[in-house]
Structure 1
Amino acid sequence: MAREEARQAELLRDVIGNPFRAVTVDPSWLTSTVVALAEGAYRDRAFDRLPILADALQDAGCDNDDVLTHCRHPGEHVRGCWVVDLLTGRK
């Protein structure tokens, strides 16, 4: 039971992030590379590409630790991932 609750909590954090620390996208982060990677991850459900997205975000000037850490987090990511949705305008 505890393992299932931990898994559900992790998935919830993937979808909503930290509700106490809202993140706003800086338009300068939305380079063609960042948008293409985020859209591709969403479309293909290829969330294993999120570390590459983090690198592209850094190259675009993103220094938000919540965004970069989330993308590099080795846990499971799902459609509805707050970072991908934020970058693609779904959130």
Structure 2
Amino acid sequence: MKGEKAALAVLVRDIFGNPFRPVIVNPSWLTSNVVALATGIYADRAFDRMPILADALQDAGCDNADILTHCRSEAPHVRGCWVIDLLLGRE
């Protein structure tokens, strides 16, 4: 039971992020590379590309630790991931 609750908590954090620290996307981060990566990750469910997205976001000037840490996290990601939805305007 505890294992199930822990797994569920990880998925909830992936979908909703931290509600006490809302993040706003700086439009300058939405380069064609960032948007293409986010779109591909969403469409292909290719969450193994999240660290590449973090690098692209950093190259675009993103210094938001919550976003970058989440993208580089080895925790499971699912469609509905708050970072992908934020970048694609699906919030």
Which category of TM-score, normalised to the shorter sequence, fits these structures?
over 0.9
Using the size of structure 1 for normalisation, the TM-score is 0.99
Using the size of structure 2 for normalisation, the TM-score is 0.99
Moved over 2 A (4+): none
1:9 and 2:13 equivalent? no
The aligned counterpart of 1:18 is 18
Q: Distance in 1 between matches of 2:88 and 2:40?
A: 10
The aligned counterpart of 1:44 is 44
| Structure 2 unpaired stretches of 5+ | none
> Could you tell me how far 1:47 is from its partner in structure 2?
0.6
> Could you tell me how far 1:49 is from its partner in structure 2?
0.3
Identity %: 71
| Structure 1 unpaired stretches of 5+ | none
Aligned residues: 91
Aligned runs of 1:1-91 on 2, under 5 Å?
Answer: 1-91=1-91
Q: Distance in 1 between matches of 2:47 and 2:74?
A: 10
> 1:35 is matched by which residue type in structure 2?
V
Secondary structure (helix, strand or coil) at the match of 1:3 reads: helix
Deviation readout 1:3-24 (Å, 9 max, x if unpaired): 1000000000000000000000
